[in-house]
């Protein structure tokens, strides 16, 4: 029922955009050196003119980063060479005020993704990240009037230091894992959203991310605070140009859902297939709050991402709805973490994964119900679709239940795309590849229907492109 | 319209159809009858081009003078063949509107398809709820058959095979389906695979084909169907 009146995309354009990627000439005013040491961390903080506490926070995080081992579980990360990465690049001097002020090649890049168009039609505010800093952003006047703060993280640190200091790094401390520590040391850009009590933001807030320099890691940092009764939907979409050498993307996202607030965080990730995408995302849901993660992973070489919700208040709810698509050479190690720390809390995890041409998907989930979390309910459903014999899917569902009065449902299925279903659709006049795409899009529909129309159309197109030329 | 020449089919080397020779003429109604396991559905799948049914050497399917033996199902659909499945599978997350839009992409305006689906659904007494659900998910036997007929109408092919469209369907639904097909038969060839004479009261067959043991045993006019109903296959086929 979607995109009835949407014009069909030009196949050639799509091929160019997504399959081969594109990159604009680099025109930077500053370029940091490769590799990382304490001096470099200090330099980044100085360049940004940060307060002393942030410099200290970064330096401490750097110490932790060097002391922590690489994860001993999950996909192989030996392709990451920390000494071969740029940790900070400043694309332009200062922030651009309007679209016209942006450098041409940056505009060209965004035109291809369609940022200004999307903004006109759909957005309440745009915060587009190019390299490591946000160069273009606009916030709807209405939002400002309501007291909603939406800007890039660096600006937030300057303009709202008290709020930032109060929350920053408190949900995901630097010692949480090696990559959270790295992000804490060298973070740059990302979004800051603050929604005052009782304010409902009608339209989704959006940000677009891209990597556009070789061997350049992107370490954005996002902080969202929803005061009691607030309601906000944040969307991040990523597309990236293709490069020959490895790239690292390691973000940290912290979300605070106060009493009776509701936050929805939607991601459509399409990093190019040389990117290591290692992201730590965590939310805290207080009394009767509702946190939803909607996480779609199409691109990257390796993704490790397990959005989590700490249900700390009575009656809090948490959801993770995710889609992972692994094509040739890709590993999507995704999942969810739900920690029930209060009575009457509810969690729901719905994971849909698709593996094709030797791609690997894994669902890795942890549900923890604490001793005093009476009458909580847990629902976990993970479905895997394998498109051929070469592909693989694994499920690692961990449950630590310390309470007897809990309702738990767990379902897991693995299916292959059936010849009978393909024949049925082909008998209606569809080509085999179209029939496969339709079945795959149908398979993820329980999750994709939760994504705003523009994004779900893009997601469908991405999947159709991934399905092209498949040998079934 | 469609000519079957020495059509023999095997699955895993087990013969299912044996040397069928027959020509379906345009604009006529054919009934295909026969005991369970006689090869009726295999005949339908074979004409539609199911990949698991291996045609034996020398088997030929000719459509309007063109050899379509090697064509895939979607190419046969392009040429005008439609198959209404005996037990259509549920397609999670796929709605009938979506399916038809994709099947007719570039051939028919999406808005026109949308409107036609709603109109036809109304005539076939398909509820909005059923229309908006994933295709065939949680649908009753009768509802599934109606959704097959809906697709037949919207796709508008001219050689239509209905594989037991009357099975699992209550009297009222059968009447709705059969009358609808009867009023839209202009310029179409219908091949109705059935166990019962019931549907043939509404759709009078020009010819009745009787299959048994994978062979085309007998061809007759409409009265053959009545004879089968009264006396059974054994008597009609000579007590074999």
Residue A100, pLDDT score: 60
Contact state of A426 with B89 under an 8 Å Cβ cutoff: no
Residue A212, pLDDT score: 43
Chain A nearest C-alpha distance from B32 (Å): 20
Of A155-169, A207-221, B152-166, B215-229, the one with minimum mean pLDDT is A207-221
Query: Tokens standing for B52?
Result: 């698991």
Question: Domain span at residue A471?
Answer: 418-472
Average pLDDT estimate for A404-432: 93
Residue A299, pLDDT score: 83
Residue A19, pLDDT score: 36
Residue A1, pLDDT score: 41
**Mutate: best of B93, B95, B115, B134, partner A, most A CBs <10 A:** B93
Cross-chain CB nearest to A4 (options B48, B72, B111): B111
Residue B78, pLDDT score: 95
Average pLDDT estimate for A333-361: 96
Of A70-79, A156-165, A452-461, the one with minimum mean pLDDT is A452-461
- Write down the residue that tokens 């579980």 correspond to: A73
Cross-chain CB nearest to B97 (options A1, A419, A426): A1
Q: Does A68 touch chain B (CB under 8 A)?
A: no
pLDDT, one tens digit for every residue, chain B (240 residues): 999 999 999 988 889 999 999 999 999 999 999 998 999 999 999 999 999 888 999 999 999 999 999 999 999 999 999 999 999 999 999 999 999 999 999 899 999 999 999 999 999 999 999 999 999 999 999 999 999 999 999 999 999 999 999 988 888 889 999 998 998 899 999 999 998 888 998 999 999 999 999 999 999 999 999 999 888 888 888 754
The ipTM assigned to this model is 0.96
pLDDT reading at A262 higher than 70 = yes
pLDDT reading at A188 higher than 60 = yes
Residue A96 CA, distance from chain mean position: 25
Chain A nearest C-alpha distance from B145 (Å): 14
**Mutate: best of A6, A383, A427, partner B, most B CBs <10 A:** A427
Cross-chain CB nearest to A443 (options B51, B93, B155): B93
Q: What is the tens place of the pLDDT at every residue in A8-22? A: 433 333 333 333 344
Contact A75, A302 (CB under 8 A): yes
Q: Which of residues 423-442 of A touch B (CB under 8 A)?
A: 423-432, 434, 438-439, 441-442
Contacts of B49 in chain A (CB under 8 A): 426-427
Residue B237, pLDDT score: 84
- Could you tell me the pLDDT band of residue A269, with boundaries at 50, 70 and 90? confident
What is the Cα gyration radius of chain B?
18
Contacts of B134 in chain A (CB under 8 A): 442, 445
Contact A305, A279 (CB under 8 A): yes
Chain A nearest C-alpha distance from B58 (Å): 24
pLDDT reading at A470 higher than 80 = no
Neighbours of A467 (CB within 10 A): 24
Residue A118, pLDDT score: 44
Kindly list the structural domains of chain B, giving each domain's residue range(s) and its CATH number in brackets, ordered by start: 2-236 (3.40.50.300)
What's the whole-model pTM score? 0.81
Give a yes or no: residue A267 inside a domain: no
For chain A, how many structural domains are there in total? Answer: 1
Query: Tokens standing for A449?
Result: 């229907």
Higher pLDDT, A150 or A370: A370
Neighbours of A342 (CB within 10 A): 20
Q: What is the tens place of the pLDDT at every residue in A356-382? A: 999 999 999 999 999 999 999 999 999
Give a yes or no: residue A253 inside a domain: no
Residue A35, pLDDT score: 86
- The HSE-up count of residue A189 (CA atoms within 13 Å, CB side) is 30
Residue A331 CA, distance from chain mean position: 16
Residue B64, pLDDT score: 95
The region that residue B64 occupies, defined by phi over 0 for left and psi between -120 and 50 for alpha, beta otherwise, is left
3-state secondary structure of A135: strand
Contact state of A428 with B99 under an 8 Å Cβ cutoff: yes
Give a yes or no: residue A462 inside a domain: yes
Could you give the CA distance from residue A73 to residue A75 in angstroms, rounded to a whole number?
A: 7
Give a yes or no: residue A424 inside a domain: yes
Contacts of B91 in chain A (CB under 8 A): 421, 424-425, 439, 442
Of A57-61, A129-133, A252-256, the one with minimum mean pLDDT is A129-133
Contact state of A427 with B82 under an 8 Å Cβ cutoff: yes
Give a yes or no: residue A288 inside a domain: no
Higher pLDDT, A90 or B28: B28
The average confidence (pLDDT) of chain A is 82
Residue A207, pLDDT score: 64
């Amino acid at each position: 029922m979607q995109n009835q009146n949407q014009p069909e995309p030009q196949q050639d354009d799509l091929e160019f955009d997504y399959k081969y990627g594109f990159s604009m000439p680099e025109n930077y005013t500053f370029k940091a050196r490769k590799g990382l040491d304490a001096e470099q961390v200090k330099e980044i903080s100085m360049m940004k003119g940060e307060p002393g506490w942030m410099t200290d926070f970064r330096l401490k995080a750097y110490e932790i980063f060097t002391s922590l081992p690489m994860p001993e579980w999950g996909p192989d990360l030996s392709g990451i060479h920390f000494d071969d990465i740029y940790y900070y690049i400043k694309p332009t001097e200062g922030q651009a005020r309007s679209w016209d002020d942006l450098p041409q090649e940056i505009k060209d890049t965004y035109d291809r993704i369609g940022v200004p168009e999307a903004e006109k039609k759909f957005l309440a505010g745009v915060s587009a990240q190019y390299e490591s800093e946000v160069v273009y952003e606009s916030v709807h006047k209405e939002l400002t009037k309501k007291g909603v703060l939406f800007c890039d993280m660096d600006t937030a640190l300057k303009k709202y230091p008290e709020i930032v200091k109060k929350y920053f790094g408190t949900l995901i401390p630097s010692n949480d894992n090696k990559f959270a520590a790295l992000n804490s040391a060298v973070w740059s850009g990302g979004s800051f959203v603050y929604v005052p009590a009782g304010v409902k933001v009608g339209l989704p807030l959006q940000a677009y991310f891209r990597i556009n320099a070789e061997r350049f890691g992107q370490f954005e940092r996002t902080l969202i605070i929803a005061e009691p009764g607030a309601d906000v939907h944040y969307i991040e979409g990523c597309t990236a140009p293709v490069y020959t050498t490895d790239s690292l993307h390691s973000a940290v996202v912290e979300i605070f859902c106060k009493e009776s607030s509701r936050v929805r965080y939607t991601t459509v990730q399409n990093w190019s297939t040389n990117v290591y995408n290692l992201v730590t995302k965590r939310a805290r849901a207080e009394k009767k709050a509702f946190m939803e993660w909607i996480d779609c992973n199409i691109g990257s070489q390796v993704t490790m991402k397990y959005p989590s919700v700490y249900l700390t208040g009575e009656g809090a709810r948490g959801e993770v709805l995710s889609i992972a698509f692994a094509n040739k050479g890709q590993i999507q190690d995704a999942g969810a973490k739900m920690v029930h720390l209060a009575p009457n809390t509810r969690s729901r995890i719905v994971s849909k994964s698709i593996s094709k041409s030797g791609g690997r998907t894994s669902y890795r989930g942890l549900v923890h119900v604490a001793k005093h979390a009476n009458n909580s309910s847990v629902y976990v459903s993970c479905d895997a679709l394998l498109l051929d014999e070469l592909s693989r899917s694994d499920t690692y569902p961990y449950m630590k239940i310390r309470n007897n009065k809990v309702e738990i449902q767990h379902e897991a299925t693995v299916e292959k795309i059936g010849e009978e279903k393909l024949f049925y659709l082909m008998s209606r006049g569809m080509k085999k590849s179209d029939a496969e795409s339709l079945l795959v899009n149908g398979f993820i529909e329980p999750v994709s229907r939760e994504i705003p129309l523009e994004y779900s159309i893009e997601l469908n197109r991405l999947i159709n492109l991934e399905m092209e030329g498949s040998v079934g | 319209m469609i000519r079957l020449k020495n059509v023999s089919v095997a699955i895993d080397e087990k013969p299912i159809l044996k040397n069928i020779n027959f020509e379906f003429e345009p604009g006529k109604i054919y009934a295909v009858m026969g005991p369970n396991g006689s090869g009726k559905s295999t005949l339908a799948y074979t004409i539609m081009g199911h990949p698991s049914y291996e045609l034996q050497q020398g088997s030929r399917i000719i459509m309007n003078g063109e050899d379509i033996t090697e064509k895939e199902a979607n190419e046969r659909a392009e040429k005008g063949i439609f198959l209404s499945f005996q037990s259509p599978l549920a397609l999670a997350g796929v709605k009938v509107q979506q399916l038809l839009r994709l099947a007719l992409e570039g051939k028919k305006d999406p808005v026109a398809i949308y409107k036609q689906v709603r109109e036809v659904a109304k005539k076939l007494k398909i509820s909005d709820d059923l229309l908006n659900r994933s295709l065939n998910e949680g649908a009753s036997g009768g509802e599934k058959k109606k959704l097959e007929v809906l697709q037949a109408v919207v796709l508008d092919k001219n050689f239509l095979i209905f594989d037991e469209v009357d099975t699992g369907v209550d009297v009222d639904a059968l009447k709705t389906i059969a009358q609808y097909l009867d009023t839209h038969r202009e310029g179409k060839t219908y091949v109705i695979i059935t166990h019962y004479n019931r549907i043939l009261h509404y759709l009078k067959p020009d010819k009745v084909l009787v299959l048994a043991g994978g062979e085309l045993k007998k061809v007759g006019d409409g009265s053959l169907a009545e004879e089968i109903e009264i006396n059974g296959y054994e008597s009609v086929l000579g007590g074999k």
